[in-house]
Amino acid sequence: MSKLSTVTVNSISKQYKKAKHLSLNNVSFNIQVGDKLGILGPNGAGKSTLISILTGILDPTIGAVTYQNEKGEQIDGNDLKLKIGYVPQEYAIYEDLNLHQNVAYFGALYGLSKEEIIKVEEELLQEFGLEEAHLKKVKHYSGGMKRRLNLILSLLHKPEILFLDEPTAGVDVQNKHAIIQFLNQLSAKGTTLIYTSHHMDEAEQICNRIILLNKGEIVKDTNIEYLMGENPAESLTEIFLKYTEVH
Amino acid sequence: MKKLIAAIKKEVLQLLSDGLGLTLMFLLPLMLVFIITIIQDSAYKIVNDNNIDLLVANGDEGDQSVLLIDALADSKLFNIIHSSADETHLKKELLASDGLIAIYFPSTFSADLEAKSEAMSEFIVSNFGVTENKNKLVNNSSIHLKLYYDPVLQENYRMSISNMLNSYISMIENDMMINSIFTKMEMEAPKDLKKYMVENQTVIDQVPALFSDNKIHPNSTQHNVPAWTLFAMFFMVISLGGNIVKERSNGSFLRLKMLPTSFATILGSKIIVYLFVAILQVTLIFSIGKLTFPMIGLPELTWPSNFLALIVIVLLSGLSAVSFALLIGTITKSQVQANGLGAVLVIIFAAIGGIWIPTFVMPEFMQNIAMMSPLYWCLEGFYILFLQDGDWATLLPVVTYLILFIVSCLIIILIKLKQERLI
Determine contact: B19 vs chain A, CB below 8 A. Answer: no
Nearest to B123 by CA among B113, B115, B133: B133
Instruction: Give chain A's domains with CATH numbers.
Output: 35-59+75-243 (3.40.50.300)
pLDDT digits (tens, 9 = 90+) for A131-145: 788 788 988 988 888
Q: How far is CA B37 from the centre of its chain?
A: 9
- What is the Rg, in whole angstroms, of the alpha carbon atoms belonging to chain A? 18
Reported as type and span, the H/E element at residue A183 is helix A173-188
Reported as type and span, the H/E element at residue A162 is strand A161-165
| Interacting residues of B378 by C-beta distance below 8 A, sequence separation 6+ | B230, B233, B313, B316, B317, B320, B353, B398, B402
Q: What is the Cα–Cα distance from B186 to B393, expressed in whole angstroms? A: 67
Determine contact: B136 vs chain A, CB below 8 A. Answer: no
Asked if pLDDT for residue A217 goes beyond 60, the answer is yes
Minimum Cα–Cα distance from A59: chain B residue: B421
**Stretch B145-152: mean pLDDT:** 83
Determine contact: A206 vs chain B, CB below 8 A. Answer: no
Residue A82 to residue B260, Cβ atoms within 8 A:
yes
Residue B252 to residue A55, Cβ atoms within 8 A:
no
- A86, A93, A108 ranked by CB distance to B258: nearest: A86
Instruction: Give chain B's domains with CATH numbers.
Output: 2-42+215-419 (no CATH), 51-199 (3.40.1710)
Q: How confident is the model at residue B287 (pLDDT cuts 50, 70, 90)?
A: very high
Q: What is the Cα–Cα distance from A147 to B299, expressed in whole angstroms? A: 57
Determine contact: B255 vs chain A, CB below 8 A. Answer: yes
- B2, B14, B257 ranked by CB distance to A94: nearest: B14
pLDDT digits (tens, 9 = 90+) for A37-73: 999 888 888 888 999 899 888 889 999 999 988 888 8
- A57, A101, A154 ranked by CB distance to B13: nearest: A101
Determine contact: B130 vs chain A, CB below 8 A. Answer: no
pLDDT at B137: 64
pLDDT at A66: 92
Residue B250 to residue A92, Cβ atoms within 8 A:
yes
N residues, chain B: 423
- Model ipTM? 0.83
Contact A86, A55 (CB under 8 A): yes
pLDDT digits (tens, 9 = 90+) for B109-123: 888 888 888 888 888
> For all residues of chain B together, what is the average pLDDT?
85
- B252, B257, B260 ranked by CB distance to A111: nearest: B260
| Interacting residues of B357 by C-beta distance below 8 A, sequence separation 6+ | B351
Q: Which residues pair with A12 in a beta bridge?
A: A27
Determine contact: B10 vs chain A, CB below 8 A. Answer: yes
**Stretch B30-50: mean pLDDT:** 75
Which A residues in the span 74-113 are in contact with B, Cβ-Cβ below 8 Å? 78, 81-82, 84-86, 88-94, 96-97, 101, 104-106, 108-111
Q: Helices (DSSP H) in B54-204: which residue ranges?
A: 64-74, 87-96, 109-128, 155-184, 192-199
Minimum Cα–Cα distance from A157: chain B residue: B259
pLDDT at B43: 67
Determine contact: B419 vs chain A, CB below 8 A. Answer: no
